[in-house]
Amino acid sequence: MKAKEMIARRAAVELKDGDVVNLGIGLPTLVANYLPKGIDVMLESENGFIGLGSVGESTDSNLVNAGGQLCGIIPGGAMFDSAMSFSLIRGGHVDVTVLGGLQTDQKGNLANWMVPGKMVPGMGGAMDLVIGAKKVIVAMEHCAKDGSAKILKICNLPLTGKGVVDLIVTELGVFRVTEKGLLLTEIAPGVTVETVKGKTEADLIISNNLISMKNVS
């Protein structure tokens, strides 16, 4: 199984029936494809609606997701303006957000919006999502393309939010941000704890109840 699919499959387990969920652009969008049976969620699209659905046959250029791609809206969905969209996000009406990350760390900090001198796309809605959603899940590949660690002791890129992350899901395992530090609770099949430690800069606490990563086999 490819890394991205594993990550999306595992992150999907975190969603509960009836949750209002915002999925970030890129890898997090895939989470919607792997919802467990019997779990229905309402997807919020920060460009102004709730009830984001698959595109189906739609060619309507005024119905797009937050990445600008054509999409659908499910029965029971609702449209609104950007102020309402972010009132929902900041106001605690979104249960879960799943976002990608450039870096995250053992304090629950997240950096995902700029690399000084190289890439400054802007934060879009990410800064609002991380302070507003009840649960913040970072779904990202464990290491950068050059092999360097992305789960650090402390982020060195400009932050999206400080102390905002609840859970990190990578293709190697699942990490819970706790007051004592980063707790490895699940590990991917065939991966050793030593391998995970070797690819992680942050200090890891290994759970006494470490189990195999859910929903990936």
- Smallest distance from other proteins to CB 134, Å: 14
User: Burial, 97: exposed, middle or buried (Cβ in 10 Å; 0-12, 13-18, 19+)?
Assistant: buried
Counting Cβ atoms within 10 Å, is residue 126 exposed (0-12), middle (13-18) or buried (19+)? buried
Q: How far is the CB of 63 from other proteins (least distance, A)?
A: 5
CA distance 208 to 52: 39
**Backbone phi, psi, residue 93, to 5°:** -95, -5
Minimal distance in Å, beta carbon 123 to other proteins? Answer: 5
Q: Which is nearer to other proteins, 121 or 190 (CB)?
A: 121
Binding site for other proteins (CB under 8 A): 45-49, 60-64, 66, 68, 73, 79-83, 85-87, 89-90, 119-128, 131-132, 158-163
Compare residues 128 and 186 and give the one whose CB is closer to other proteins: 128
Closer residue to other proteins, CB minimum distance, 54 or 217: 54
Q: Which residues are catalytic?
A: 46
For the four alpha carbons of 84, 27, 134 and 125, in that order, the dihedral sign comes to negative
